[in-house]
Amino acid sequence: MYWKYVLRRLLQSILTYVVIIFIYSALFNTVMEATLRSQINEQLQGEMMSFAKSGLSAEELKEHFDNRKEHLYEIYHLNDPIPSRIFWRAIDTLTLNFGNASNIRSATGSSDVMEIIVEKIPNTLLLFLTAAVIDVIVGIVLGLKKAQKPNKRMDRWTSILTMVVYGLPTWWLGMVMIMLFSYVIPIFPSGGVHNVPPPEGGLAYFLDMLYHLALPVLVLVIVGFWGRAYLIRNIVLGTLQEDFIMSARARGLSERRVLFGHTLRTAAPPIVTMALMSLLASISGGLIYEGIFSWPGMGNLYWIAVQQNDIPVLMGNLALTTALYLMGLVVLDLIYGLLDPRIKVGGKA
């Protein structure tokens, strides 16, 4: 039962991903090809330079150049009609063949776009996962407290605070905090994952990373947990009104057991969904945030790629981000299915 569900979800998202990549290809075809052509040109120029010394005449060189160009254009399908070109660009992306970056280089100096992007992924995850975990824990604690005494003073005031920070841009708060605590009162570093150069030794390295992690995570959590608490409060309140909660109380179970064992456990699927959704949203929306803190993650890479107009990196990053996002959605659904027996075990006996 569950495995059917898993399979279905996976297939669905793979299909969705393929469609999306085709859409990207179509949308950005012109730009991607312009880059491709100029890269081919560069490559050919390089080849011609080395040939120039071999003593061929100008016409022969030109002929060779044209032949090579035709050849490469054939391989990359650049002479085909548009639908075919879009198709081949999409295939490129789907096979993770992102090509080479125009300007950006990876930490090892490689210009392979895939490598450039993949080395950034752990940083992004480190930042947002840490913040999300803290967020959710605080959110659950606060949300439960709110749900137990709904519409009393604490509930009201925390809800108001939730609304106050609703439109607050986290990256702006990041800017302000950096200004305050990195420059005006220098406590925290102003950005990056490590000091340059990073300290030697396992523990020192780790502590240095924590030190750099502190301010970004702090800002994320300050803004984030209100919303979590509010949503959790609503979900728990909704669950508390169900008949089976009254039934559990009537059976003489302790309030603690009713709250955690029955209410929270039943509310777990929507709560987990919400937590994961907000994690996904914060990662995919965390571009600017990473940029503000010079945090070398995928989001920051976008910013740099935009500024340096490095199209291959931009496209590759977009494709990978989408893939990760979709994967996240699938994981979300699968976990939901695990937590809710109605899906895990299926229908009537």
Partner 1 sequence: MEKSLEVRNLKLHYFTSRGAVKALDDISFDLYKGETLGVVGESGCGKTTLGTALLNMPTPPGKIVGGNIIMNGQDLLTLSESQYRRDVRWEKISMVFQGAMNCLTPVYTIYNQMMETIQYHRDMEKSEADARIRKYINLVGLSDDVLRRYPHELSGGMKQRIVIATGLFLEPNVVICDEPTTALDVVVQAQIINLLKELKKELSLSFIFITHDLATEAEVADRIMVMYAGKVAEIGSNEEIFGAAGPMHPYTKKLLVATPRLHERVDKLAFIPGVPPDLLDPPTGCRFYPRCSEVMPKCSQEEPPITEVSPGHKVACWRCA
Partner 2 sequence: MKTSIAKKTSTGTNGKRFKGQLAALWNEFKRFKYGMVGLALFMIFVLIVIFEPLIIPFKETGTRWRDITYWQDNPVNAAPAWTNWFSAKDKTPQETLKATNIVKQEEPSADMTFIDAEIHYNYKYDDPPTDMAFRATVMGDVSFMLSLVRPDGIEIPLFDTYTSSSTPNDFRVSFNSDALDNIFEFATQHEDPTASFIYNKSTLNAMNVLFSKAQYGILDNPEPLKGEYVFKITAATIGSGDVSNLRIEVAGKVFGILGTDNAKRDLWSGIICGTKWALLIGLSTSLISVFIGVLYGVVSAYFGGVVDMIMMRIFEIVNSMPLLPIIIVMSAIFKPNLWTMIILMCLFFWTGSVRTVRSMGLQIKEETYIEAARALNASNGRIIFKHMLPQLIPYSFASMALSVPGAILYESTISLLGLGDATIVTWGQILQGASSGGAVLHGLWWWVVPPGVCMALMGMTFAFIGFAMDTILNPKLRTR
Rg (CA), the chain: 26
The answer to whether 244 contacts partner 1 (rule: CB under 8 A) is yes
Among residues 7, 246, 281, 331, the one that binds partner 1 under rule CB under 8 A: 246
Selection from 268, 334, 317 nearest residue 101 by Cα: 317
**What is the C-alpha to C-alpha distance for residues 67 and 199, in angstroms, rounded to an integer?**
53
Residues binding partner 2 (CB under 8 A):
12-13, 16-17, 19-20, 23, 27-28, 31, 150-151, 159-160, 162-169, 171-173, 175-176, 178-179, 183-184, 234, 237-238, 241, 284-285, 287-288, 292, 302-303, 306-307, 309, 314-315, 317-318, 321-322, 325-326, 329
Identify which of residues 132 and 339 has a Cβ nearer to partner 1 in the complex.
339
Helix axes 121-148, 202-240, angle to 10 degrees: 40
Q: How far is the CB of 347 from partner 2 (least distance, A)?
A: 20
Reported in sequence order, the residue ranges of the chain that DSSP labels E, i.e. its strands, are none
The answer to whether 347 contacts partner 1 (rule: CB under 8 A) is yes
**What is the C-alpha to C-alpha distance for residues 169 and 177, in angstroms, rounded to an integer?**
13
Selection from 85, 100, 74, 101 nearest residue 29 by Cα: 85
Contact in structure between 315 and 300 (CB atoms under 8 Å) = no
Residues 255-294 that bind partner 1 (CB under 8 A): 257, 261-262, 265-266, 268
Q: Which stretch binds partner 1 (CB under 8 A): 38-46, 114-122, 252-260, 275-283?
A: 252-260
Identify which of residues 52 and 82 has a Cβ nearer to partner 2 in the complex.
82
Q: How far is the CB of 339 from partner 2 (least distance, A)?
A: 20
**What is the C-alpha to C-alpha distance for residues 271 and 237, in angstroms, rounded to an integer?**
12
Selection from 245, 275, 278 nearest residue 147 by Cα: 245
Q: How far is the CB of 174 from partner 2 (least distance, A)?
A: 9
Among residues 172, 242, 322, 329, the one that binds partner 1 under rule CB under 8 A: 242
**What is the C-alpha to C-alpha distance for residues 51 and 42, in angstroms, rounded to an integer?**
14
Q: How far is the CB of 144 from partner 2 (least distance, A)?
A: 15
Contacted entry of partner 2, partner 1, none for residue 146, CB cut-off 5 to 8 Å set by kind: none
Q: Which stretch binds partner 1 (CB under 8 A): 160-168, 227-235, 315-323, 333-341?
A: 333-341
The answer to whether 247 contacts partner 1 (rule: CB under 8 A) is yes
The pair of three-digit structure tokens given for residue 319, joined into one six-digit string: 């494709």
The pair of three-digit structure tokens given for residue 135, joined into one six-digit string: 């967020």
Selection from 134, 135, 132, 149 nearest residue 259 by Cα: 149
Query: Rule CB under 8 A: which residues touch partner 1?
Result: 242-244, 246-254, 257, 261-262, 265-266, 268, 339-342, 345-349
